Amino acid sequence: MARYRESVCRLCRREGLKLFLKGDRCYSDKCAIERKNYPPGQHGQGRRKISDYGIQLREKQKIRRIYGLLERQFHGYFVHAEKKKGITGKNLLILLERRLDNMVYRLGFSSSRNEARHLTRHGHFLVNGKPVNIPSYLVKINDVVEVREKSRNVARIQESLETAARRGIPNWLELDKEHMRGRVRAFPTREDLTMPMEEQRVVELYSK
């Protein structure tokens, strides 16, 4: 499967925003966007007028990169969101938040979503007592996600839990740090998502 193999710090610089793709490094003075707060490339510091289409495209790329999805995957979520009742943009973000890899990240079991996908694929987590190794698995209300017994000594998971307080646990999730498990209390609302995202731009882009 295709995947991005270049420096992920370039993605943050391209979008002009911290996407928190490298875990703890994003909170340090080593963060690339702190040192070079302009797009990468030889024309990065030039001034350009961006069209409405360009603004919509950048917003779609930003959200897609935050959640680490390929274009085909992302569009699939949009189609799913469009078929659901309610506002399409909000439905899209809630679907993305319900992904298992995102929940692993939100609970503090990993330092980034990319690391969460890696740990999930290697079978380190249980959902309602059963092993699930599919990062795109959509959690439901009252689902319990926990670290497998044999995985509780994995260094990356322990280190991530120690620094989880810096990010904070969302209100829609409940963490039992001692037993390394979390529960979905409710689906997130738009107000729970604090990253600056203009999902309506994505709806406009795909509706053309």
- CATH no. for residue 149? 3.10.290.10
Total domains, the chain: 3
Neighbours of 5 (CB within 10 A): 6
Residues 111 and 81 in one domain: no
Tell me the C-alpha distance between 134 and 10, whole Å. Answer: 27
Q: At 27, list the tokens.
A: 């909170």
Residues 180 and 119 in one domain: yes
Mean pLDDT in residue range 73-82:
95
Strand ranges of the sheet holding 144-147, from the earlier edge strand across to the other edge: 130-131, 125-127, 144-147, 181-184, 173-176
pLDDT-derived band of residue 46, with 50, 70 and 90 as boundaries?
low
Q: Decide: 132 and 126 in contact? Cβ < 8 Å.
A: yes
Residues 64 and 1 in one domain: no
Residues 79 and 19 in one domain: no
More confident residue, 137 or 4: 137
Residues 114 and 175 in one domain: yes
Asked if residue 32 has pLDDT above 70, the reply is no
Owning domain of residue 33: 1-48
Q: Decide: 116 and 108 in contact? Cβ < 8 Å.
A: no
Its pTM stands at 0.80
Q: Where are the beta strands (DSSP E) in the chain?
A: 125-127, 130-131, 144-147, 173-176, 181-184
Q: At residue 79, what is the residue type?
A: V
Mean pLDDT in residue range 168-183:
92
Neighbour-count burial of 141, counting CB atoms closer than 10 A to its CB (0-12 exposed, 13-18 middle, 19+ buried) = exposed
Question: What pLDDT is recorded for position 17?
Answer: 62
Asked if residue 82 has pLDDT above 70, the reply is yes
- CATH no. for residue 88? 1.10.1050.10
Residues 33 and 74 in one domain: no
Percent of the chain with pLDDT over 90: 53
Residues 33 and 81 in one domain: no
Residues 129 and 172 in one domain: yes
Residues 7 and 81 in one domain: no
How far is Cα of residue 1 from the mean position of the Cα atoms in its chain? Answer: 19
Residues 132 and 57 in one domain: no
Residues 206 and 176 in one domain: no
Tell me the C-alpha distance between 68 and 74, whole Å. Answer: 9
Neighbour-count burial of 48, counting CB atoms closer than 10 A to its CB (0-12 exposed, 13-18 middle, 19+ buried) = exposed
- ∠ CA(36), CA(39), CA(44), 5° rounding? 100
Tell me the C-alpha distance between 120 and 101, whole Å. Answer: 7
Mean pLDDT in residue range 41-60:
73
Residues 87 and 152 in one domain: no
